[in-house]
A and B are shown apart, each in its own frame.
Chain A
Amino acid sequence: EDKVVQSPLSLVVHEGDTVTLNCSYEVTNFRSLLWYKQEKKAPTFLFMLTSSGIEKKSGRLSSILDKKELFSILNITATQTGDSAVYLCAVEVSGTYKYIFGTGTRLKVLA
Chain B
Amino acid sequence: GAVVSQHPSWVICKSGTSVKIECRSLDFQATTMFWYRQFPKQSLMLMATSNEGSKATYEQGVEKDKFLINHASLTLSTLTVTSAHPEDSSFYICSASLADTQYFGPGTRLTVL
The chain A residues found within 8 Å of chain B, CB to CB, are 32, 34, 41-45, 48, 88, 90, 92, 96-104, 106
Q: For this complex, into which size category does the number of interface residues on chain B fall?
A: 20 to 34
Q: Which residues of A contact B93 (CB under 8 A)?
A: 42-43
Say whether A41 contacts B107, CB under 8 Å.
Answer: yes
| Interface flag for B42 (CB, 8 Å) | yes
Contact with A along B16-27 (1 / 0, CB 8 A): 000000000000
Say whether B46 contacts A101, CB under 8 Å.
Answer: yes
The chain B residues found within 8 Å of chain A, CB to CB, are 32, 34, 36, 41-46, 49, 93, 95, 97, 100-107
- Chain A, interface SS category: strand
Say whether B45 contacts A101, CB under 8 Å.
Answer: yes
Top 3 closest pairs, chain A to chain B, by CB: A42-B104, A101-B44, A104-B43
Q: Which residues of B contact A32 (CB under 8 A)?
A: 100
- In the complex, A38 Cα to B106 Cα: how many Å? 11
- In the complex, A32 Cα to B101 Cα: how many Å? 10
Q: Which residues of A contact B100 (CB under 8 A)?
A: 32, 48
Say whether B101 contacts A48, CB under 8 Å.
Answer: yes
Say whether B105 contacts A42, CB under 8 Å.
Answer: yes
- Nearest to B6 among chain A residues (CB) is A42
Say whether B107 contacts A98, CB under 8 Å.
Answer: no
- Nearest to A32 among chain B residues (CB) is B100
Q: Which residues of A contact B102 (CB under 8 A)?
A: 34, 45, 90, 92, 97, 99
